[in-house]
Amino acid sequence: MRGSAILFVFLVAAPAQAQDPRDLVRRSIVADQNGWFRMRDYTWQATYVERHFDLHGTVKSTKAQKWETLIVDGQSYIRTLERNGKPVSPEDRHREQARLDQESARLHSETPAERLHRIEEARTQNAKIWGFLSEIPDLFDLQLEGETTVAGRGVWVVSGAPRAGARPRSREGGMLVKIRGRLWIDKATGQWARVEAETTGVITWGLFLARLDSGGKLTFEQTSVSADLLLPSHLLLAGSGRLGVVRRLIEDQELRWTDYRKFSVDSNMAVDPGNP
């Protein structure tokens, strides 16, 4: 009887605990990091578009590129397909294929110990990139707004803004306290189905003092590739800023990921970009 009572308390308490916003966000950061690492089990295509505007909001210039990411012995390899809407030349395709063949041969000759070391280094680097996000539950006041659906999947909606007097542990965490936003957390995977964020102060980074002004907006979305995995589908960053002390920027950058395919062919197999 006592065991049944304990089980009942656990079943009742578990859903309530799962909806705690700090716990939800903390677990979603881990789930999303694992999702990015599992991305190496797939190939995909991506299209990047960069638009520059004048002070009146008119597009001054556009730059675009489309590429395919292949997985060679667990390591990603990018092969350009188009530049500014035009397919790359046959000569460029052949040069990129030659580089792919060379890289494939190099990786294929690795010993098991060397390959394991390379994969672990990639995992460590991935953890470093995502590490500062683990500060979010401690830096932000988080509110569970409710539940809804995104692309037919159930999600929790969590909004957040930096706490007054929050002290980040890292340099990158210092950028977080100048951002507020909202997360749509997928119930099945624990990953981010959608993110919307806005800068509330000037963010500076890099050797060239790149700067994003207050009011910059970011939208990030992921799509389901299996019942237990979401992978990136859309990123849009828009805002004004400055590069160095002279160049003023008003632009948006958009990245779309498409055509995810589970990687299952031999790693040294050449793939014709015209007939993937």
Q: How many domains does the chain have?
A: 1
Q: What's the rounded Cα separation, in Å, for the pair 181 and 36?
A: 21
Is 34 a domain residue? yes
Give the per-residue pLDDT at 103.
84
Is 154 a domain residue? yes
Length of the chain (residues): 276
Is 69 a domain residue? yes
Rounded mean pLDDT for each run of 10 residues along the chain, 276 residues in total:
39 49 95 90 95 84 94 83 94 89 86 86 78 91 96 96 91 88 97 95 69 88 96 93 64 94 53 33
Indicate whether this model's pTM tops 0.95.
Answer: no
Is 108 a domain residue? yes
What are phi and psi for residue 136, nearest 5 degrees? -55, -50
Is 10 a domain residue? no
Q: Which domain holds residue 183?
A: 20-262
Q: What's the rounded Cα separation, in Å, for the pair 101 and 91?
A: 15
Is 8 a domain residue? no
Is 39 a domain residue? yes
